[in-house]
Amino acid sequence: MKDKIKEAEVFDNKSTVYGPVKSWRYGMSLGIDPIFNTSTCSFNCIYCQLGNIQQIVRELKVYVPTQKVIEDFQEHIDKHSLPDVVTFSGSGEPTLALNLGEMVTAIKQISPTLPQFVLTNSTELGRPEVQANLLNVDKVIVKIDASDEETFQKINRPASGISLKATIDSILRFKQSFKGSLEVQSMFMPLNLKHLEDFAAILNQVKPEVVQLNTPKRPYPMEWHRENRGNHKLIFDYQIKELKRVTEEDAQKIETLLREKTGLEIHSVYQK
């Protein structure tokens, strides 16, 4: 246990910048955490790498000062080579950060050619403030894990009042004004293998540039620690629960069906 604790100390618990970690789609991705202080999200997904979300809310506010993020970013790049991308994610839903746009602008001033991506659960994309904050982002990766309301509620466990239809509508409203690249990321588990043709119909509505098919290869932590951000090394000094994944064979079937029904570019985590 002491060895595990010592190893876990490689995750900087005091910085809003973490990693970089090797992304199966984007190369070396440096994480930016605009939430930081506690896990805060409008979803409480059953597979979340953060574990049980502590604050399930839709409140737009400044969760961590922009200056703190910029100082942490500058400190990192002063010591390390530039990553392939920076990805806003971290301790919850990044679009809840009212100052997200300020962070994007400041990082672009420091590193003008460094691509900036945002991973989002899509619930807030219809809000004008959120759309303005994402105006200068290079890529937005939206989450769609279900094609029916029952499965959506079981997997994503959203804040009160959030429905699958409202979430899809938010993506469609956002896409009308967003000039960057939009991709869909889907987490497949045995629970959501049904209704794949309905899922394809949603993809045909959204028309993303790419669809990423994922499955929970990381376990579910039974308590929240900031080290859970980007913990691809799977070092834990606390209790975890392994999650059910789709098999490589099932992933291939999903990929083939969705490609046939949508004509979209599909990438599977098993085919990286």
Mean pLDDT confidence for 155-171? 97
Mean pLDDT confidence for 154-182? 97
Pick the CATH number of 2-271 from 2.40.50.140, 3.30.420.40, 3.20.20.70, 1.20.1340.10: 3.20.20.70
Which residues are registered as beta bridge partners of 17?
Answer: 32
Q: Which helix (H) or strand (E) holds 67?
A: helix 66-79
Give the model's pLDDT for residue 218. Answer: 77
pLDDT digits (tens, 9 = 90+) for 101-114: 999 999 999 999 99
Q: Where are the chain's structural domains? A: 2-271
pLDDT digits (tens, 9 = 90+) for 228-250: 666 555 666 668 888 888 999 99
Q: Is the pLDDT of residue 221 over 80?
A: no
pLDDT digits (tens, 9 = 90+) for 23-74: 878 889 999 999 998 999 999 999 998 999 999 999 999 999 999 999 999 9
Closest by Cα among 187, 165, 175 to 140: 175
Banded model confidence at residue 14, pLDDT cuts 50, 70, 90 = confident
Banded model confidence at residue 78, pLDDT cuts 50, 70, 90 = very high
Give the model's pLDDT for residue 75. Answer: 96
Q: Is the pLDDT of residue 12 over 90?
A: no
- Per-residue DSSP letter, 85: E
Mean pLDDT confidence for 149-173? 97
Distance, CA of 149 to CA of 49 (rounded, Å) = 23
Q: Is the pLDDT of residue 3 over 50?
A: no
Give the model's pLDDT for residue 235. Answer: 64
- Report the amino acid identity of residue 57: V
Mean pLDDT confidence for 86-113? 97
Mean pLDDT confidence for 211-221? 86
How distant, in Å, are the alpha carbons of 144, 146, 189, 216, 252 from that of 269?
A: 16, 18, 13, 10, 10
